[in-house]
């Protein structure tokens, strides 16, 4: 999208119109008690960030710790669920446009996940799990939870450079480091915690200076309101299908897609056409280091979105199983952020380490059968 539109939409992530201070005080009094000010040594009325369903205030907890106080807008949850109800009512109109897609189950899954996002007790639990798992990690930092009440969440404050600023003005070193760590968190998070952080926009990440002897940068991760619960990590079929595609096994890829519900039983597809559709998208997984650019992302969007393209016709025959809704969202969003960063990242190395099914069972250090770069070159 053109720069001015990108800039305007980016504001919705952290700089939406804030709730008045009096309304914030009323929410805190209702949720934390009339003596809520006794919990804080300092509380800044001007929000540090404001987004779709809530805003964040910088404060100092009664024990002296700097904290972030997340306050949900009154009525935001009801409004959001009402919008999704309206969307469900028009789902039948979407079906004929994308014949391969089951729309109603997707909207039902989306409603369930949004309902969880409104529950700050669930968010606090997810953040505690991540904070504990990454407590000693040299690359990833998650702030701890300090307190939680209905529609109010207090967590440790995290300083750092917002990823949106790195996108706009970051150095080459910052861009590449942020991109690599973002890719790592995408795949390592589910493997280590059983949870997938499902809101990977730039406003939810910070680039932190490492004060240790090695120096460098770490990635700070915020906002665990939307997560996908994956007790076994990312699904094995994801890694297996990716490995088969890079090995040129068109029939195997199509069979895997059918098994997982991406292709409905009544839909007949040419395996080679499916492979041609998939391979350009997964090019970053085929090479040791990939340069993510906006132009590459635009070329993929144009290829899939152009009605004159075979990829467009095939794409309309594909389904998105509800169990993969958030995985799909996170993958595309993360790739989008990597392209905004213009980052050079070794995505394949992260896949080999963290994505079940991707490494060759016979040779865990590499993908299976076939030279992935040769397969891509042929396509």
pLDDT-wise least confident of 64-73, 88-97, 299-308, 334-343: 88-97
pTM over 0.75: yes
Rounded Cα–Cα distance for residues 254 and 262 (Å) = 9
Instruction: Calculate mean pLDDT across residues 235-243.
Output: 96
Confidence band for 362, pLDDT divided at 50, 70 and 90: low
Confidence band for 89, pLDDT divided at 50, 70 and 90: confident
Residue 53 pLDDT: 83
Buried b or exposed e, range 211-224, using 16+ CB within 10 angstroms: eeeeeebbbbbbbb
Confidence band for 368, pLDDT divided at 50, 70 and 90: very low
Integer angstrom CA distances of residue 44 from 22, 24, 41, 183: 12, 11, 10, 34
Q: Partners of 221 in the beta sheet?
A: 205
- Residues 275 and 253: beta-carbon distance below 8 Å: yes
Rounded Cα–Cα distance for residues 341 and 242 (Å) = 24
Alpha helices per DSSP H over the chain: 3-14, 21-32, 76-89, 91-94, 103-117, 120-133, 163-169, 172-193, 236-246, 250-260, 271-278, 294-305, 310-315, 325-341, 347-354, 372-378
Tokens representing residue 176 in the block: 């590449």
Q: Partners of 57 in the beta sheet?
A: 69
pLDDT higher for 321 or 17? 321
Residue 97 pLDDT: 67
Confidence band for 95, pLDDT divided at 50, 70 and 90: low
Q: Partners of 209 in the beta sheet?
A: 217
Q: Are strands 217-221 and 140-141 parallel, antiparallel or unpaired?
A: parallel
**Which DSSP string do the residues of 39-107 spell out, in sequence order?**
GEEEE-SS-SEE-SSEEEEEEEETTS-EEEEEEEPTTHHHHHHHHHHHHHHTHHHHGGGSTT--HHHHH
Rounded Cα–Cα distance for residues 225 and 125 (Å) = 10
Distance of CA 72 to the CA centre of its chain: 21
7 pLDDT more than 70: no
Residue 101 pLDDT: 80
Q: Is the dihedral of CA 249, 251, 253, 259 positive or negative?
A: negative
pLDDT-wise least confident of 29-33, 127-131, 365-369: 365-369
Tokens representing residue 179 in the block: 């991109």
What are φ and ψ of residue 112, in 5° steps? -65, -40
């Amino acid at each position: 999208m053109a720069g001015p539109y990108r800039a305007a939409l980016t504001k919705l992530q952290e700089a939406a119109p804030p709730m008045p201070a009096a309304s914030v005080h009323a929410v805190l009094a209702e949720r934390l008690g009339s003596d809520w000010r006794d919990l804080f040594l300092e509380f800044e009325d001007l929000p540090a960030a404001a987004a779709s369903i809530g805003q964040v205030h910088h404060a100092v907890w009664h024990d002296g710790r700097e904290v972030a106080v997340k306050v949900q807008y009154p009525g935001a949850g009801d409004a959001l669920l009402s919008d999704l109800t309206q969307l469900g009512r028009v789902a039948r109109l979407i079906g004929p446009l994308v014949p391969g897609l089951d729309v109603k189950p997707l909207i039902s899954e989306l409603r369930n996940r949004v309902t969880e996002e409104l529950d700050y007790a669930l968010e606090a639990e997810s953040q505690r799990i991540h904070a504990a798992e990454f407590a000693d990690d040299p690359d990833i930092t998650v702030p701890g939870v300090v307190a939680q009440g209905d529609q109010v969440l207090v967590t440790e404050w995290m300083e750092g450079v917002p990823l949106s600023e790195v996108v706009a003005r970051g150095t080459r070193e910052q861009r590449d480091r942020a991109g690599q760590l973002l890719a790592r968190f995408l795949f390592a998070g589910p493997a280590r915690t059983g949870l997938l952080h499902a809101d990977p926009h730039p406003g939810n990440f910070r680039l932190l200076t490492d004060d240790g002897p090695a120096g460098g940068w770490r990635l700070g991760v915020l906002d665990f309101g939307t997560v996908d619960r994956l007790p076994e990590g990312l699904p094995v079929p994801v890694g297996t299908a990716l490995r088969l595609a890079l090995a040129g096994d068109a029939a195997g890829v199509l069979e895997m897609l059918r098994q997982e519900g991406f292709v409905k039983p009544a839909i007949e597809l040419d395996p080679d056409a499916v492979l041609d559709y998939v391979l350009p998208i997964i090019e970053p997984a085929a090479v040791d280091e990939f340069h993510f650019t906006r132009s590459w992302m635009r070329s993929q969007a144009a290829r899939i979105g152009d009605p004159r393209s075979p990829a467009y016709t095939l794409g309309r025959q594909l389904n998105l199983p509800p169990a993969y809704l958030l995985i799909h969202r996170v993958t595309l969003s993360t790739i989008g952020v990597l392209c905004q960063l213009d980052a050079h990242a070794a995505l394949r190395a992260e896949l080999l380490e963290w994505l079940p099914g991707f490494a060759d069972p016979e040779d865990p250090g590499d993908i299976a059968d076939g030279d992935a770069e040769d397969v891509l070159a042929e396509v």
